Each structure stands twice: as structure tokens, then as C-alpha cells.
Amino acid sequence: MGWRHEWKYEINAGDVFALRRRLRAVARPDEHTRDGRYTVRSLYFDTPTDKALREKTDGTARREKFRIRYYNGDTSLIRLEKKSKLDALGCKRSAPLAPAQVRAILEGEIDWMLASPDELVRELYAKMRTQGLRPRIIVDYTREPFVYGPGNVRVTLDYGIRTGLDCMGFLDPGCLTVPAGDAPVILEVKWDAFLPDVIRQAVQLTGGRAGAFSKYAQSRIYG
């Protein structure tokens, strides 16, 4: 996938009802949802000096982060992802991981990664060796995704952000997580070359605060 435009807005619960109604009228729910939503669990990586966190909070224009992710508590489909940012543009690469491979990473057994056929897995291995990247925190949330064909648009409403410090419990859907402080609802809008007017109008809000909210940074409030 190439570079895509990204907007993020911190919104309130009241905005969600208006946005949900408008988006349902012009877009369609992502085909992978259950009743229009799904849950996301991510395991984020960082260095001993919190490089990813500092680049985010400092507003570094070009930055990257690695995470492992699965949906709806289903560990049969797990993906390693690298999210790169350049100002308001974003790009994501991914590679599949088996549960046993994730367990090995959690236990610090990573030599197998060097022989992986997936370039992204080998890149993570290199940065774990050279930068000290390690699993840092679990982030859970609920997502309502909408898609619109022209412009390859994806609009998401993310809420109920929770965090867990016990990375070893990542593959256990029942592991303990707690609310990540007073986290807002996050509206994200992503598109390729152009954003159709019908979507631009549907996501307009009065008082919505545009910014670069990070679920990872929000979830680090406890350590």
C-alpha cells in the first residue's frame, strides 16, 4: 500500500450518533464487522529510550512504529504491521504471524526471524537487535469502520480505548486491561488521491479538534 492522506479528530459521544447516521447514508460498513463494529487488540513495540513515544509527542514529521494486531479475539489471523508517517500522510505494511511466532517474540526468542521470507519480519528483527525494540504495551479498542469506493476512502470511529502492561498476555483475549485514562472517541478519515465531497460533508463537525492523537501514546499514561 502506498502513502495515504490521514485526518484525525477527537470527538465526543454526541458526535458519534450524528456521524454514524450520516456515514450509514453514504458509505457502507467494512465487510469484516460484526453488527457494524469489531474489536482490535494491538501490541506496540518501543525502544528502551521510548523512541516511538518521543517521536510522537515531539511531533516528529517522519516516524514509524511496529505493532502486532488481531481482531475480535481471533488469534488465528495475526499480522505484524509497520506504520510510517510523513506529516499528514501515512503508509502501512504488514506480514502474517502465527501464534507460536508471536509467543516466541514475547519470550525474546527472535533468531528465527532472520530467516523469515517476509521482509517486514526481518526488518523488525534487525531493529530489535540494533535499536532494542521490544514489546511495550497492549492497546484494546472498538472500531466502527466505513468504506467508500471513490478515493478508496476509509472512515473509522474508535472508542473504548484500554491498555495493559502485561505483554505476555497479548494472545489471551481475557487478559486484564484498564481504561486508558479519559480517552476521547477518535474519528479517522483516510483516502488516496482525493476525498469525495460527499464524505467531506458527512464528517464535518462543529468544534471537532483536528490533531495527531495516538492510541499508543494515550495508553502509556500508566508507564
Report the alpha-carbon distance of residue 48 to residue 70 in Å, rounded. 25
Q: Look up residue 123 and give its three cell numbers.
A: 526488518
126, 26 contact by CB (below 8 A): no
pTM of full prediction above 0.85: yes
Q: What is the three-class DSSP state of 191?
A: strand
Measured CA to CA, the distance from residue 188 to residue 157 in angstroms comes to 7
Q: Report how far residue 146's alpha carbon sits from residue 198's, in angstroms, rounded to the nearest whole number.
A: 13
In this structure, the number of other CB atoms found within 10 A of the CB of residue 98 comes to 11
Q: What is the pLDDT of residue 116?
A: 98
pLDDT of residue 209: 64
What's the CA gap between 65 and 84, in Å, rounded? 7
Q: Any idea what the Cα angle at residue 50 is, between residues 48 and 56, rounded to 5°?
A: 165
> 1 CB contacts (<8 Å, ≥6 apart)?
91, 92, 93
Three-state DSSP at 18 gives helix
Domain 4-218: CATH superfamily is VTC, catalytic tunnel domain (3.20.100.30)
List, run by run, the mean pLDDT of 10-residue segments along the chain (223 residues).
89 91 95 92 98 93 96 96 94 98 98 98 98 98 97 97 96 94 94 96 80 89 86
Domain ranges of the chain: 4-218
519470550: which residue's cell? Answer: 107
* Residue count of the chain: 223
Alpha helices in 108-195 (DSSP H): 119-130
